[in-house]
Amino acid sequence: MTPLAEILRPKSLDDYIGQQHLVGQGAVLRTLIESGNIPSMILWGPPGIGKTTLATIISQTLERPFHTLSAINSGVKEVREVINAASEEDGCILFIDEIHRFNKAQQDSLLGAVERGTITLIGATTENPSFEVIPALLSRCQVYILKAFGEGEMGLMIDRAVEYYARQGVKVKVKEREALMRISGGDARKMLSAIELVVNRTLGHKGTKGEVEIDNERATAVIQQNLAYYDKGGEMHYDIISAFIKSMRGSDPNGAVYWLARMIAGGEDPLFIARRMLIFASEDIGSANPNALLLANATFEAVSKIGYPECRINLSQCAVYLACSAKSNATYMALANAEAAVKRWGDLPVPLHLRNAPTKLMKEMGYSDGYKYAHNYEGNFARQEYLPQGLEGSRFYEPGNNARENETRRSLHEHWSDKYGY
């Protein structure tokens, strides 16, 4: 069944809601569209504000062939197939949703066709194109910034939904709008999906005639119980990444790959996932398995080079490895303890023997005097004070109870048992 958001998708610029700075009467993009001569462009803005709709309206207004690709599940092969098809057409428009997910090789594959005019590229992105689109491609495109919908535009969306249902014989009364506004967060698609969900839940199935009253309590209750989509910009985004991290921390690879799959299915930025695993490798594994950080960093690099859809395999490999690894937050807690000391005691002076002495004056002042160069001593170890006056003997690092850190504990005991109590 066709979703309400698709049914109500505007078909013309006059029907289009918002972005009047671009498509209002006399605005820059509208003028170009009406001239019939548009450049390749990047539409940059948050989700659900009409980027795809605008691209579709442009193609329909200009009556040009229109091809679409999603960067989540398309690669160089699909791009080349569209370009080959476009070479047989006149004035083809290629729309690429979430173009920031294309890696360098995928974006490079577009350059020749854009330069030759084989295609007019319209890319949509929620990320800053200055960072996510390669310079060679960005220089050949105009960047247009789309603004998030305000309450006025979202109110128009609600009115259109009410009018549509009235034509279907369903009387929808939106008594209170605050919950719908809050749930949608400026995303028109999410707003219409929420309204549709409440109506369908109330009436049993779409097409049934009747009356539906929507207030804040009703909207919140129904949507929280039934809305199962992944919102990469809202609360569920944080809930699912939290579940992912906690599954790895809890050494459950099955939970980890499930929540990873949820994020992938929802179109989460793979670099966001890889970045969180990179943090996790130090925060929750640390010295228990230093190789975890190496693998997480290699995964981040691989994801940067490969992109969706193949990089999901790298993400899965890393997530399972991190989940199955020994865990320790000892180095994380050591830093937290040291930061607490800094906050409490302030900027204590560096002991003179630890200071560098690059000038004669500094040497005369005692800088570096008495410093013991560890490599000149047996076992590359020399006992001396490394903490500032007032913090002598403070113990910030407590090794975790695992094979690698137990070995570290033995070494620390040998060197520092009488000073730090290891």
Which of 63, 61, 350, 1 lies closest to 207 in space, CA to CA?
A: 1
Q: Rounded to whole angstroms, how far apart are CA atoms 169 and 163? A: 10
The residue type of 395 is R
Q: Rounded to whole angstroms, how far apart are CA atoms 394 and 415? A: 15
Which one-letter DSSP state was computed for residue 122?
E
Q: Rounded to whole angstroms, how far apart are CA atoms 377 and 383? A: 10
Do 122 and 43 contact (CB within 8 A), yes or no?
yes
| CA atoms within a 13 Å half-sphere pointing along the CA-CB vector of 102 | 28
One digit per residue, the tens of pLDDT, for the chain of length 422 reads 788 989 999 999 999 999 999 999 999 999 999 998 999 999 999 888 999 999 999 999 999 999 998 877 777 888 888 888 888 888 899 999 889 888 888 888 899 999 988 999 999 998 889 888 999 999 999 999 999 898 899 999 999 999 999 998 899 999 999 888 887 878 888 889 889 888 888 886 544 567 899 999 888 887 766 544 445 555 566 778 889 999 999 999 999 999 999 888 777 888 889 999 999 999 999 999 999 999 999 999 999 888 878 899 999 999 999 999 999 999 999 999 999 999 999 999 999 999 998 888 888 889 999 999 999 999 999 999 999 999 999 999 999 999 999 999 999 999 999 899 88
Question: In this structure, what are the phi and psi dihedrals at residue 42, rounded to the nearest 5 degrees?
Answer: -120, 125
Contacts of 115 (CB under 8 A, 6+ apart): 140
Do 327 and 298 contact (CB within 8 A), yes or no?
no
Q: Rounded to whole angstroms, how far apart are CA atoms 52 and 58? A: 10
- DSSP secondary structure string, 143-203? EEEPPPP-HHHHHHHHHHHHHHHHHTTEEEEE---HHHHHHHTT-HHHHHHHHHHHHHHHH
Do 285 and 116 contact (CB within 8 A), yes or no?
no
